[in-house]
Structure 1
Amino acid sequence: MCGLTVSVALHRSGQSCSKDQPSDESTKPTPQRQNANSLGDLRTKLNKSLDLIAHRGPDAKGVWISDDGMVGLAHNRLSINDLSPEGNQPIHSDDGLIHAVVNGEIYDYDRIRQSLSDSGYRFSSRSDSELVVALYQRYGAPSFLDHLRGEFAFVLCDESTGKIIAARDRFGVKPLFWTVVEGKGQARVLIAAEAKAFLALDWKPEWDVGAIADGGWEHGDRTLFRGVKKVLPGHYMELTADGRTVHQRYWDIEYRNKREVETRTVDEMVLGVREQLIEAIRLRLRADVPIGIYLSGGIDSSIVAGIVAHLVREQGVKLGNQDAASRIRCFSIQFPEGSGYDESGIDIAERTADWLGVQIFKKHMDEDALAEYFADSAYYCEHHSVDLNSVGKFGLSSLPREHGFKVVLTGEGSDEHFGGYTFFPPDFLLEPDYSMPDLPLSRDKTLREALQSSTQNALKHKLSRLGFFTHEVEGPERFQSVNGISMFDCNRVRQVPLRMFAGWVRQRWRGIDSRETASNAISPEAMEKIREKWHPLHSSQYIFSRSMLANILLSCLGDRTEMAHSIEARPPFLDHVLSDYANGLPPSLKVVYDPTKPGSSAGKGPWWEETNAASHAFSEKWILREAGKPFMSQELYERRKHPYTAPVKWPKGGPMYNKLRDICTRDAVENLGFLEHDVVERAFEDGFGDDAVASSARFLFCVGAWVTLSERFGVRRARVEDHA
């Protein structure tokens, strides 16, 4: 685990090409040996860059620069496997020609290491990160990526070929950004785990107003900052010796053909999920430090905790470096009692901990704490959010550190694989489940269409009631090419409407539809499968996983808020072997129709208030509940999903109101360049108090984050002439 920064010099203007369209216009650079002063200057800058992301790895720091000064690799280490100095980075191959900096964890370490040792590779450490270099040496690129199981982002330099390879894990658990800066007669490609690392390397940040206005930062490779891009999940970027930048996909999410009839029994598939999940968790218990668990009131983290307890107590598996049979430790967040947003669900997390026989520590997040953490959360996340969920997660991630833990297991990815979100049923109902043709919803078109209409209307009402944004641009006929699935509409409710931006922005991006931005970010290959091959539920899951999951949930509710406190989170549900199995399951085993379920929403939290009977007739994540039943209490087995959600409404004059007032001054807002202060002021008038308009509060959360980033990064004021 680490923070990494890389600088690569180019004798060109930065030609970039996509996976199947290499450029022939670049010329091969002539290596030029740099003088000692130049190399020293680069080393100084790389060390300062590491200081900006020292939170990602406070245990050690290392820099390697090639003799000609063309490549510099820098690394902050969070020591988890092999705590000795031999595990420090950058990593060098046994022949001294391959160098790398690696962020994250590679699992199934012992088996892979033994195989490589048997083939003659001489390891210099016991660190899992060294597998990246050893596998590359044995298999080459891109084949070596197929052997990596885990969460990772890394940059590898092969001096024998002149190649530089930057790769990111399959779901985007670990971040990786890149940009190009022009220097004195020379451009440099910069690659880092966080954009703030670029500040020490002559990067001058500017807003990408287009990515903010059209929602592009949530889809594809753009960010809030102009010219700063992400290496996409499941992709690698190659800087070749002849000066080209090539982006290549090495893996993508895949689903079964919707016309394929299921031949396995339900019991076989339940057992398959259970076995795959147990193995994914077992692999993530390997560490040379203690491992904890984030435990909420939901089934995802509870199943993880239950399986960990099973492995430790019944199979003797070590939990990190501890024999934790009697002291498994869990961490939970608790919002103010009576707010309706307390995920511990009137102490259900505590009752779950008692049932499992584990120890639980709670982080109480009241309004004072949320206000205190707000600006720091925005700074570390490097993007805005329409709620305070990330602020709560930022606070929670301080808790394991206080108790001496560097590693926690989490439940992210379960809803995406097993159909857990309340906005999945409308898309599930768009078509019959051809793989299970004897089910009522597969046979009864009238019933299915009636339920689809009812759940769709209920979803729209729910999102409106919770204060998510509405947009003027309509026209669902534009999206019939993706079978009319509603995920594009669900995604855009988090997108700040164009009407809330400055006049020049409204004019420049007039008529823009963030649904179109989202659809354009989908690869042609995936779009063809959405049209012809996948069931609408799976298409919806794919779009969500490649947008919201990768660009928001795994950022502000994952890596960025965790690593702000030097915490590595391991999400077993995002194990790609487990996900491949889950994606081959019939849709009707993920979302199950059960008209006998009670329709009351009483006591089920804000996401279930005022919902109709049709919405209650579906069991989300049904097969996961069955697979995890031996490892959780009956109370949890029967409980509806309660999303992790921070309160949105707060009183005028309270800590959150005052914090945003302090941040969003007239000068600060106008210095952004893309907002007008009068619009912000009106949001303050109706965004707080007993009759608060939740969408106004959500807008202010975004403004507060933008201002924080503007001031802490020194972002230049956006100008119309820069976005002609």
Structure 2
Amino acid sequence: MCGLAALSFHAPPGNAEVVLQAMSKHIAHRGPDDHGLMVLENGSAGVAHRRLSIIDLSPHGRQPLVNEDRTLALVCNGEIYNHQELRLDLEAKGHRFTSHSDSEVILHLYEEIGADVVLKLKGMFAFVILNLQTGDLFCARDPLGKKPLFYAKVPQGVAVASEIPALFKVPGLERAIDSEAVGLFLLRNLRNIPDPKTIYQAIRSLPPAHVLHIEKGIAGEARRYWHPSLVSQPTTPADVLEAFDLAVKRRSIADVEIGVLLSGGVDSTAIVDSLNRQGASDLRSYAFGVDEHDEELMRARRAAEMLGTRHTEIHFHAERQHALFDDLLRHHGQPIMALPLTHAMMLFEAIQADGLKVVMAGHGADEVFYGYNGAQNLASFSRFNDAFPGPFSRVLAGALSALFSTGRLGETLRLLAHKPGQRKTALYQHEASTLWPQLFKSPPALASIAAWSQPWFAGVPRLSYIDEAAFLGLMQENAHALTISGDLPAMAHGIEVRCPFMDQDLIELALTTPYDDKVKRTHNLSGGKMILKRALKDRIPADILYAPKRGFGYFVQEEAVLRGPWKARLDEAFAAPDDLSGLFNVKALLDAKSRFDQKDPSVPAILMAKLYALQRFQCLQGFGG
């Protein structure tokens, strides 16, 4: 894990090296072990790197890495888990390696097959390759977006970095707000601003599974390269177990000690069990909870004792978490929901203090094996919808939805009224049609929702609704709990998080597994992830395997925090709320706060938490010029 920065200018500005040094310094927390920089002689382009040494701890692994004839230079943030197989093949073709770094295979593979390099990599990555002859940049982000990559248009050209604040070091960067980004952030299932948007009009996030060419200071269109099959195919528990164990094995390769996040749930328990079966021992494990009586912590203790780990518990501390929330906002460079990222920040603080650089975590299993509590309702609706898929049903449902516009019935009718690939868009547009005019002086266009969500379903055959919703959740909606939570709070403390359930091969297997194999037809609190549980039934005790589903930090929820220990801060923020450079109607913000205080269900805690995140971010960094 590391941090990177890159520049591509229209003309030599004369200060590219100075700017890159400033950008690199700002992301030093991502790579405290080493740093490197390379700039073209004419100053028109360059790359910089901050290193967190995990594989090949020697100076030979220092980046930027260059190829044999010094025509290409690479900076990479991430880990390539199949680097050993790729290296053997490349060496057989005559390539000469100067290190044992996993990243170096990217450079030589790019020499062989160009942009298709991303199709051969198994891992998590965001990287930039600089052409040392032309100054052009090739940028790429892994299929699930586990590693971030931001780029900005500036007067001199284009700047690229692992974190937004590093881009602020480039002279002339405009900071005008993107109102569409703020509007999307406020929608119910989103806890962060979704790709490719950022809070700033001039800055974009390269979406997961995309590549970008930057030539002579001009960024082209980002191109998607990963289109997994979403067509159901027969899958067995044995298939799942084999893919899972391989995913854990791939993530066990490191030249440093590996720890584990152990909640005592199915996913984290399975990871530690698999590590033990593959020869690990005396692992250090970590768990978070409200206090020592937390049900999740008690379960984690049981799992730790059973698995033989050296276990550490971290307890909720309201004031410390608010300070960490401010740190998160400063690192992220834009608004984001506090929970459960602040829980993770406390965990990674403790892990860093113990001297660990790498941990494994169970992120992703709920998204692809349908472990969330709402999965059974989605499966029931999908079975009904699949039975009446035709245009007549959609027309009838559309007519009825005009009569029943609110509540669960209205939502169901809206889903029935729209084609596959458009159903989530319809729900969000209905929500935004009410919410946005209430808050914004000039509401964003509803078309911005379709522009964000629907491209993910381009060329995809008809899907059952549960599969459609899950795929958008995996790629976009749940980034806060998946990719951001595995990078932002961890890298703020120089920690790499490896997630076996987000292994590309395992994900592709799960995406084609029929949802009837994942979700029980009978409703109960442990009715999801059934094929995974069947795969693990001989490894994990039933009381853990079939325990009710809980989320990370389940007993510390937004509403309790906002109405309790953070209430004074909330009151202070909304005593005279900021309108975000004229974006919001201040009277509407005051009204929303009043309704929240009165426990009006029209202002749920998740919306209030987002509005507070916007206010807090404004307080810390400010918007506009």
Please give the range of the TM-score, normalised by the shorter of the 2 chains: 0.7 to 0.9
| Aligned-pair Cα RMSD in Å | 3.5
Secondary structure at 1:157 match in 2: strand
Secondary structure at 2:98 match in 1: coil
Partners of 2:135 and 2:215 within 8 A in 1: yes
Closer, same or farther in 2 for the Cα pair 1:661/1:570, shift >3 Å?
same
How far has the Cα of 1:133 moved from its partner? 0.5
How do 1:341-360 and structure 2 match up within 5 A? 342=294, 344-345=295-296, 347-360=298-311
How far has the Cα of 1:714 moved from its partner? 3.9
Q: 1:658 aligns with which of 568, 574, 593?
A: 568
Give the share of equivalent positions with the same residue, in percent. Answer: 25
Distance 2:493 2:560 in 1: 27
One-letter amino acid of the counterpart of residue 220, structure 2: T
Aligned: 1:643 with 2:551: yes
Partner of 1:235: 210
Partners of 2:17 and 2:43 within 8 A in 1: no
One-letter amino acid of the counterpart of residue 380, structure 2: L
How do 1:1-40 and structure 2 match up within 5 A? 1-10=1-10, 34=12, 38-39=13-14
One-letter amino acid of the counterpart of residue 621, structure 1: K
Q: 1:204 aligns with which of 146, 157, 174?
A: 174
Partners of 1:219 and 1:546 within 8 A in 2: no
Partner of 2:400: none
How far has the Cα of 1:670 moved from its partner? 3.6
Taking structure 1 as the reference length, the TM-score comes to 0.76
Aligned: 1:293 with 2:248: no
Partner of 2:373: 422
Aligned: 1:384 with 2:335: yes
Partners of 2:425 and 2:450 within 8 A in 1: no
Distance 1:692 1:352 in 2: 40
Partners of 1:413 and 1:573 within 8 A in 2: yes
Q: 2:222 aligns with which of 218, 240, 247?
A: 247
Distance 2:8 2:176 in 1: 21
Distance 1:310 1:300 in 2: 15
Distance 2:86 2:484 in 1: 32
Distance 1:492 1:354 in 2: 49
One-letter amino acid of the counterpart of residue 227, structure 2: D
Partner of 2:199: 224
Closer, same or farther in 2 for the Cα pair 1:714/1:426, shift >3 Å?
same
One-letter amino acid of the counterpart of residue 616, structure 1: N
Partner of 1:93: 67
Distance 1:562 1:149 in 2: 21
Closer, same or farther in 2 for the Cα pair 1:474/1:712, shift >3 Å?
farther
Partners of 1:181 and 1:189 within 8 A in 2: yes
How far has the Cα of 1:220 moved from its partner? 4.5
Closer, same or farther in 2 for the Cα pair 1:189/1:493, shift >3 Å?
same
Distance 1:505 1:48 in 2: 37
Aligned: 1:524 with 2:458: yes
How far has the Cα of 1:388 moved from its partner? 2.1
Partner of 1:545: 474
Distance 1:109 1:60 in 2: 22
How far has the Cα of 1:127 moved from its partner? 1.1
Partner of 2:582: 673
Partners of 1:335 and 1:364 within 8 A in 2: yes
Partner of 1:67: 41
Partners of 1:487 and 1:543 within 8 A in 2: no
Q: 2:507 aligns with which of 579, 599, 609?
A: 579
How far has the Cα of 1:518 moved from its partner? 4.8
Closer, same or farther in 2 for the Cα pair 1:393/1:157, shift >3 Å?
same
Distance 1:10 1:142 in 2: 23
Closer, same or farther in 2 for the Cα pair 1:657/1:496, shift >3 Å?
farther
Partners of 1:293 and 1:330 within 8 A in 2: yes
Secondary structure at 1:505 match in 2: coil
Partner of 2:139: 166
Partners of 2:525 and 2:548 within 8 A in 1: no
Deviates more, 1:493-502 or 1:351-360: 493-502
Partner of 1:23: none
Distance 2:260 2:585 in 1: 44
Partners of 1:591 and 1:618 within 8 A in 2: no
Distance 2:360 2:139 in 1: 26
Partner of 2:183: 213
How far has the Cα of 1:622 moved from its partner? 0.4
| 1:668-717 CA distance string (max 9 Å, x none) | 6145432344444444445459x686945433422332233334444217
Deviates more, 1:615-624 or 1:512-521: 512-521
Closer, same or farther in 2 for the Cα pair 1:159/1:72, shift >3 Å?
closer
Distance 1:491 1:672 in 2: 25
Distance 1:53 1:568 in 2: 15
One-letter amino acid of the counterpart of residue 141, structure 1: G
Partners of 1:218 and 1:548 within 8 A in 2: no
Partners of 2:260 and 2:272 within 8 A in 1: yes
Secondary structure at 2:313 match in 1: strand
Aligned residues: 603
Aligned: 1:149 with 2:118: no
Secondary structure at 2:419 match in 1: helix
Partners of 1:496 and 1:699 within 8 A in 2: no
Aligned: 1:505 with 2:437: no
Distance 1:352 1:694 in 2: 40
